[in-house]
Amino acid sequence: MKFNEALKEIKIYEAGKPIELVVREFGIKAENVVKLASNENPKGCSSKVAKVIANNAHKAFLYPDDSMYELKAALASKFSVQSDNIIIGAGSDQVLEFISRALLTPNDAVLMSQVTFAMYEIYAKQMGAKIIRTASYEHKVDEFLEAYNEHKPKIIYLCTPNNPTGDATSKVDVLKIIDTIDKETLVVVDGAYMEYAAAKDEAYSITPSDLVAYPNVIYLGTFSKAYGLGGMRVGYGVANRELISELYKMRPPFNITTLSLAAAIEATKDEEFVEDSIALFTKEIVRYEMFAREKDFDYIESYTNFITYLFNDKINSTEIADALLKEGVIIRNLASYGMNAVRITIGTKEQNDRLFEVMRKVL
């Protein structure tokens, strides 16, 4: 059987390792496994949301409201935009897929930073598009504009804060890129972790209302991170209504579940949960910075709920990640991104205590 030629270029996405794998392979009890690999919220989700999911369990036989009226209205009000500026996806991942399918042909190029969210490349390659990367993992305006002028990409991906490095791009820099390019290129501002950056520094806070007037910009957000709903798979895109109506042509019906929809609606009503999650992160990340200094390796200043440790020649990221895994601590090795580095989600105080204890041992 002959598959689409484009598939030859695609490396399968490597997701963070699940708790089940550690239980299976190392015989460690699930309750003793510490998972700091997928940037989930260590506080779990809001108890109000959990209650709504339980209370709606009997509705599992029903398809959800396909218009997603209430969720879009809640997001529209939160971001001061209109409901028809919004499209909901099964995670913002699905919105990325809609964008790629709606825009790209094999003659197109897409532009992204050297090290960034892996799905941009995968979705673009599915459409046969060419991948252009800047030289740095940081989003440097000059590098983006130079590559833009040379390749005239169909899509530019700006991931801020950036996964897996944790650094962020200021609003001024994002707008500089948007204002310089022409309207034939779509700019995707991926704000999956924006709640954390906005809380840390106003200059890095970008909201959909800053962007919605542009015909060629889309903002992506998710309930998977600060809202603690990774398992519910709900994300969204916010853009001008002409762009959104084109993306709707890519959307399958009922693309999030009845329970996910109920959970996301409830989550928009509990901003206090998000604030508490950010407060925990702000307190705990300081310990990670101190730990790096104590052990004499570098880290990237983080604007998200994870930190990236950059190791020197004496420490090998694969050895560290494997040794931690055997002890029941899951972190993300960034060797596949060409970096001798690991990405660690900031956990609860107890999870972080355990991480430091095991890391001291394996180092």
Distance between first and last Cα of the chain: 48
For residue 305, the one-letter residue type is N
Q: How far is the CB of 45 from ligand PMP (least distance, A)?
A: 13
Q: Which residue lies nearest ligand PMP, judged by its C-beta?
A: 91
Q: Does 255 bind ligand PMP (CB under 6 A)?
A: no
Tokens of 339: 């970096």
For residue 129, the one-letter residue type is A
Q: Does 117 bind ligand PMP (CB under 6 A)?
A: yes
Window 158 to 217, contacts with ligand PMP (CB under 6 A) = 159, 163, 190, 192
Tokens of 116: 């960034």
CB 49 within 8 A of CB 232: no
Q: How far is the CB of 88 from ligand PMP (least distance, A)?
A: 11
Q: Does 344 bind ligand PMP (CB under 6 A)?
A: no
Q: Which stretch binds ligand PMP (CB under 6 A): 89-97, 172-180, 258-266, 281-289?
A: 89-97
Window 228 to 247, contacts with ligand PMP (CB under 6 A) = 230, 235
Q: How far is the CB of 312 from ligand PMP (least distance, A)?
A: 26
Tokens of 349: 């105080």
Q: What does the chain come to in residues? A: 363
- Of 158, 161, 196, the C-alpha closest to 178 is 158
Q: Which is nearer to ligand PMP, 83 or 94 (CB)?
A: 94
For residue 97, the one-letter residue type is E
Q: Which is nearer to ligand PMP, 93 or 284 (CB)?
A: 93
Q: How far is the CB of 229 from ligand PMP (least distance, A)?
A: 9
Beta bridge mates, 133 = 112
Interface with ligand PMP (CB under 6 A), residue from 100, 207, 224, 340: 224
- Of 86, 80, 131, the C-alpha closest to 251 is 86
Q: Locate all alpha helices (DSSP H) within the chain, ordered by sequence.
A: 19-26, 47-55, 69-79, 92-103, 118-126, 141-151, 171-180, 194-200, 208-211, 241-247, 258-267, 271-295, 317-326, 349-362
Interface with ligand PMP (CB under 6 A), residue from 92, 165, 169, 302: 92
- Positions in the binding site for ligand PMP (CB under 6 A): 91-93, 117, 159, 163, 190, 192, 222, 224, 230, 235
